[in-house]
Amino acid sequence: MTQWPCPLPGGGTADEWALTMRPDGAAKACLLIVPALFDEGNKLRRFTVEVMRRLAASGVACVLPDLPGFNESILPLDTQTPGDWQVAMEGAARHFAASHVLTIRGGALAAPRGVPGWHYAPVAGASQMRQMLRARILAAREAGRSETQDSLLEAGRMHGLELAGYRLGADFIAEFGGLVAREEPSMQTITQDMLGGPGLWLRTEPGEDAGQADALAAIIAVALAQRETA
């Protein structure tokens, strides 16, 4: 673990943490990983680290920074916006001299601009928001309360909202639902069927799958090797 200066929206920086893995000797590349968001981030954390280990063993340096407001971050989540996350990841890319980026699921919505790489199973903000709203509505129903998606979103855009245990600000709610992964020639999509088996985010508890970790790491390592010889 290492600290890095995360840029803040109003100027200045805050010390945030990142997990780094570097191969012995000179690295072929430095891969910045933008993690999955919210509960999917918890379910995919072990998988993400296992992919990093495999890439480091093949000569690729990897950096997994905390998004502001998550994990060991000192910043409050309810003051963050998706735009703040993108600025943070662009700062991480500069600080760690990342040559490529790998985003995982909703992490695609905070991908740093100008860095080539891959989106793994990207999900739109609207889809992820619907999942969290559905979970809250079901929990409210079990508690004898009636809530609807429209009423929650309306309240959230004004006052913020707690979803799946995460307190999100009004600006976040207003912005997140309209986001999609950026599409440009320098970014390629890795679909789940390229790894085999269902996505680990679909499990009820965090888990791992060595075969899927092998497959994702191999796709990236082979592509980097081909770019070096091109």
CATH number at residue 42: 3.40.50.1820
Q: Which of 226, 230, 216, 229 is nearest to 55 (CA)?
A: 216
Q: How many domains are contained in the chain?
A: 2
Which domain does 191 fall in, by range? Answer: 2-124+183-229
Mean pLDDT by 10 residues, the chain (230 residues): 92 94 84 97 96 96 96 93 96 97 97 96 96 92 90 94 94 94 91 95 90 97 81
Looking at the fold, whether 140 and 192 belong to one and the same domain comes out as no
Comparing CA positions, the residue from 4, 184, 172 lying closest to residue 91 is: 4
DSSP 62: E
Query: 129 and 91 in one domain?
Result: no
Helices marked H in the chain — which ranges? Answer: 38-57, 82-95, 125-142, 149-159, 170-176, 210-229
pLDDT computed for residue 120 by the predictor: 98
Residues 82 and 169 in one domain: no
Tokens of 228: 């070096």
**Residue 98 and residue 16 in one domain:** yes
H/E stretch holding 6 reads: strand 2-7
What integer pLDDT is reported at residue 30 of this predicted model? 95
